[in-house]
Amino acid sequence: MNRSVFVTGGNRGIGAAVAAAFAADGDKVAASHRTGSPPDGVLGVHADVTVPGQVEKALREAEAAHGPVEVVVANAGITRDRPALRMSDEQFEEVLSTNLTGAFATVRAALTSMLPARRGRVVLVSSALGFLGSPGQTNYASAKAGLVGMARSLAWELGDRGITVNVVAPGIIETDMTAPLSERRMEDLMRMTPLGRPGRVEEVVAAVRFLASEQASYITGAVLPVSGGIGMGH
């Protein structure tokens, strides 16, 4: 479709699959990567989203190659699980600064181009666990729930500029992030998942592509669960 697309955390997992899918659609795709490198056909631009200024610099590099960004996907995220009493300030902050502040820095950088163009698609990658709550994840759930407030505030700010802002809330998806989950925790989570299986990255990609598409032109401030039914809507 030849749009200028920017994805954070595009070197692996959901971000790499999202970037590859847009590229396969014919978009000009840049993906930020802190380590590794993004898939073939995707321009890699280095950024650690927790370092002030880095993601903005990466997005500007992407724009120098592809033109003003039209679709931005804030995907970079981490977990640092620990019961609240044993969670340090650093473990809390690290997750907030990656998943929440990093997403804000990404979107703000994209708005410099989207506002004057009076069009754009913003997709934030949250998590169904942000709404359900999850033991050991006060940091992660706080950040992921925060993305919804962010998206809905931005939807109000940007609606009259033709920019939509939406949230994808994956459930348990098979990536490096969920690989360390114990068998017992996975069984518990699958019992809470009506479809009874983990999701595939392609299933998240489909939702992101839809929210970024022309067909989604009247959807903003929405939370789209891609979760097999764990967390059915908010």
The site map against ligand NDP for 127-156 (x = CB under 6 A) is x-----------------------------
Given the residues 137, 140, 150, 172, the one annotated as active site:
140
> Strands, DSSP E only, in 93-171?
120-125, 163-170
Whether 92 and 139 have beta carbons less than 8 Å apart is answered as yes
Does the protein bind ligand NDP through residue 77 (CB under 6 A)?
yes
Which residue in the set 4, 75, 134, 139 belongs to the binding site for ligand NDP (CB under 6 A)? 75
Pair 165, 110: CB distance under 8 Å = no
Phi and psi, residue 4, nearest 5°: -90, 115
Tell me which residues in 36-55 interact with ligand NDP (CB under 6 A).
36, 47-50
Q: Does 189 bind ligand NDP (CB under 6 A)?
A: no
Residue 39 DSSP label: P
Per rule CB under 6 A, is residue 109 in the interface with ligand NDP?
Answer: no
> 3-class DSSP state for residue 165?
strand
Q: Does 4 interact with ligand NDP (rule: CB under 6 A)? A: no
Helix or strand holding residue 54 (H, E):
helix 54-66
List contacts with ligand NDP (CB under 6 A). 8-9, 11-15, 34-36, 47-50, 75-78, 98-99, 125, 127, 170, 172-173, 175-178
